[in-house]
Amino acid sequence: MIKYPNKHTEAEAKEFLKRFLNSIVDVQEKELNLLINLFDLVTYKKNSIIINEGEIAEYFYFIYKGIVKVYFYKNDKPVIERFEKEGGLFGGNFTHLTKKPGTHVYESIEDVTLLRIKYADLEALCAQSHDIERLYRVNMELFHTKYVENLFIFKSLSSEERYHEFVRQFGDLTNRVSLKEISNYLGMTPETLSRIRAK
């Protein structure tokens, strides 16, 4: 990981984060700036582990560029739970609250540029600013809704339908994520996936 030296990129990334947050809830400019200023920019090379299994996450991340896969191990085999792309958020699955070692690995599958904020700073700001706390809450609600919906899709569709749903949701990712990873995420063999894609 390197702390990004380019102030220009940092300003752009923060502008992107601001637009993203403003599209969720209206927040006063002043309050929003308090939040944005707590973020700093970091980059990771492709295939870097950002948060590892067994860690307690110190930071919450926003993706400016790149893709991160989130997975855990089942009998020593990785199971991909989700992908996060530009505009996505991740933060170690609540380990900052439980203080128990995390079960998930967060790994870049491209070079990534991220904005990160310390949980301690985020919590202190939430306690101080009603607006920011509201933003945090609504974000969490939306995230959870998406999570449950994906689970629903996973359980309710056939493998072929699951693939088409993946393309609908992550259309722009299909060429950026390997077939092996997509098939792992969809819970099918790479052969089944190739067959579906060939159709």
Partner 1 sequence: MKQDAIKIYTEAEEHMKSVLNDLSKLSTDGMEAMLKLAKPVTFRKKQIIYQEGEIAQKLYFIHKGIVMAYYYVDDKLTIDRFIKEGEFIGGQVSYSTKIPSNLTFVTLEESVMLELDANSFLKLCADSHEIQSVYSLYLTQHFKRYSDMIVAFRALTAEDKYAKFMELYGTLVNRISLRNIAIFLGMKHETLSRIRSRMGK
> According to the binding rule CB under 8 A, does residue 180 interact with partner 1?
no
Interface residue with partner 1, options 11, 49, 124, 127 (CB under 8 A): 127
Contact 64, 86 (CB under 8 A): yes
Interface residue with partner 1, options 1, 34, 89, 126 (CB under 8 A): 126
b/e for 138-177, b at 16 or more Cβ within 10 A?
Answer: eeeeeeeeeeeebeeeeeeeeeeebbebbeeebeebeeeb
Interface residue with partner 1, options 9, 103, 169, 192 (CB under 8 A): 103
Interface residue with partner 1, options 45, 140, 164, 180 (CB under 8 A): 140
Contact 94, 88 (CB under 8 A): no
> According to the binding rule CB under 8 A, does residue 124 interact with partner 1?
no
- Judged by CB under 8 A, the stretch of 36-44, 105-113, 140-148, 164-172 that binds partner 1 is 140-148
H helices of the chain, where?
7-24, 29-36, 95-98, 119-128, 130-156, 159-170, 179-186, 190-198
List beta partners, residue 107: 49, 69
Say how many C-beta atoms besides its own lie within 10 A of residue 14's C-beta.
Answer: 19
Give the residue with the Cβ less far from partner 1, 11 or 79. Answer: 79
By CB under 8 A, the residues from 27 to 86 that bind partner 1 are 72-74, 79, 81
Interface residue with partner 1, options 97, 120, 124, 179 (CB under 8 A): 97
> According to the binding rule CB under 8 A, does residue 1 interact with partner 1?
no
Contact 39, 62 (CB under 8 A): yes
Pattern of binders to partner 1 over 150-169, x per CB under 8 A? -xx--xx-------------
Can you tell me the distance from the alpha carbon of 193 to that of 189, in angstroms, rounded to the nearest whole number?
A: 6
> According to the binding rule CB under 8 A, does residue 11 interact with partner 1?
no
Report the interface residues with partner 1, using CB under 8 A: 72-74, 79, 81, 93-94, 97-98, 103-104, 126-127, 130, 133-134, 136-138, 140-145, 147-149, 151-152, 155-156
